[in-house]
Amino acid sequence: MAKTLLFDALREAIEEEMAINSSVLVIGEDVGHYGGSYKVTKGLHAKYGDLRVLDTPIAENSFTGMAIGAAMTGLRPIVEGMNMSFLLLAFNQISNNAGMLRYTSGGNFTIPIVIRGPGGVGRQLGAEHSQRLEAYFQAIPGLKIVACSTPYNAKGLLKSAIRDNNPVVFFEHVLLYNLQSDIPDHDYLLALDQAELVREGKDVTILTYSRMRHHVIQAVDMLVGEGYNPEIIDLISLKPLDMQTISQSIRKTHKVIIVEECMKTAGIGAELIAQINETVFDYLDHPVVRLSSQDIPTPYNGSLEKETVIHPHQIQQAVRDIVKAKTSI
């Protein structure tokens, strides 16, 4: 085991896959000589050169389209968005091409592409650099969507995404890059479609992902001292949702809290509630509680920005309220 920062874990994943498979390449703005805005691709250009680490113009629609075409020919491109918000400029290519071509070609083409980069609410990055695009991409048929949350799962998931024959949108949170933890020295892969049971409990199921995993853990650490026993599940896979793991937990706890940084309206939590109601409604003893970000562009002002997202004290209060509540369904 070795202590590793999350951005280093991502770089290790890319470098290891490039070493064993010559069809893997990296495409994006400043990914080469500069080493990426958050240093995820640092050192790769010196090792692999211009043909496998391509610095592009500031034209997301063009280089994303080029990467999809490269994937159709058998290459395995990794597209880095300098900020995931910028990939809205390539929404047409991601939706009409990456998501559809395997189907519209009758299976004649596979699209083994990974589209990754930083997103989420940072620290005073402004509205256009603080978007949470999970729900935007979740609506696109044909995509897999993954949100990493620790150095360990970041490396294992990215390696699996690179090897997958389907387009994978890979979300990294801008405030987690300097998160450090132990990861194995040996090669390992993690399933792209499985949630992680972070903590077993019996009082209430807390569903979360990305940065909010750490807010939930902080809140639960305090709640345990008060005698509460929540169960924590990191969704990891946002499309498809791992309803088997989620349903198994709900059948045990009978109560659910969703904690997300996504917007409340039409967010990941909204889809979760719909699927929970369709599959395990009869096991619920209380309506699902949803803690989501405000439906506004993220303010630049630090105090206002802080008010738009969920914090541990709000999670603690939600757990207290739902555990103490009498059965209402």
Cβ(211)–Cβ(261) below 8 Å: yes
The closest of 147, 244, 268, 248 to 202, measured between CA atoms, is 248
End-to-end CA distance of the chain: 47
The pTM assigned to this predicted structure is 0.95
- Whole-angstrom Cα distance, residue 211 to residue 227? 25
- Whole-angstrom Cα distance, residue 235 to residue 168? 16
2-183 CATH pick, 3.40.50.970, 3.20.20.70, 3.40.50.2000, 2.40.50.140? 3.40.50.970
Orientation angle between helical segments 243-253 and 268-280, nearest 10 degrees: 70
**Mean per-residue pLDDT for 274-283?**
97
pLDDT for 22 equals: 97
Query: Domain ranges in the chain?
Result: 2-183, 196-324
pLDDT for 1 equals: 79
**Mean model confidence pLDDT for the chain:** 95
pLDDT for 327 equals: 62
- Whole-angstrom Cα distance, residue 137 to residue 149? 19
- 24-28 and 53-55 beta bridge pairing: parallel
Cβ count near 2 (within 10 Å): 12
Cβ(161)–Cβ(170) below 8 Å: yes
**Residues of the chain above pLDDT 70, percent:** 99
Quote the Cα angle for 168-88-150, to 5°. Answer: 45
pLDDT for 61 equals: 96
Per-residue pLDDT reduced to its tens digit, 220-266: 999 999 999 999 999 999 999 999 999 999 999 999 999 999 999 99
Question: 3-state DSSP call for residue 174?
Answer: coil
Give the residue numbers annotated as catalytic, written as ranges: 60, 129
196-324 CATH pick, 3.50.50.60, 3.40.50.920, 1.10.10.200, 3.40.50.720? 3.40.50.920
- Whole-angstrom Cα distance, residue 47 to residue 246? 43
DSSP string, 291-328: EEE-SSPPPSSHHHHHHHS--HHHHHHHHHHHHHSPP-
pLDDT of residue 209 exceeding 80, the answer is: yes
Question: 3-state DSSP call for residue 197?
Answer: strand
pLDDT of residue 196 exceeding 90, the answer is: yes
pLDDT for 325 equals: 84
Same fold, 2-183 and 196-324: yes
pLDDT for 328 equals: 57
Q: Pull the structure tokens for residue 287.
A: 């309506």
**Mean per-residue pLDDT for 176-188?**
95
H helix or E strand, kind and range, residue 257: strand 256-263
Per-residue pLDDT reduced to its tens digit, 59-73: 999 999 999 999 999
Per-residue pLDDT reduced to its tens digit, 167-179: 999 999 999 999 9
Cβ(112)–Cβ(69) below 8 Å: no
The sheet with strand 205-208 has its strands ordered as 196-199, 231-234, 205-208, 256-263, 289-293
DSSP string, 117-157: EEES--SS--GGGS---HHHHHTSTT-EEEE--SHHHHHHH
Beta bridge partners of 172: 118
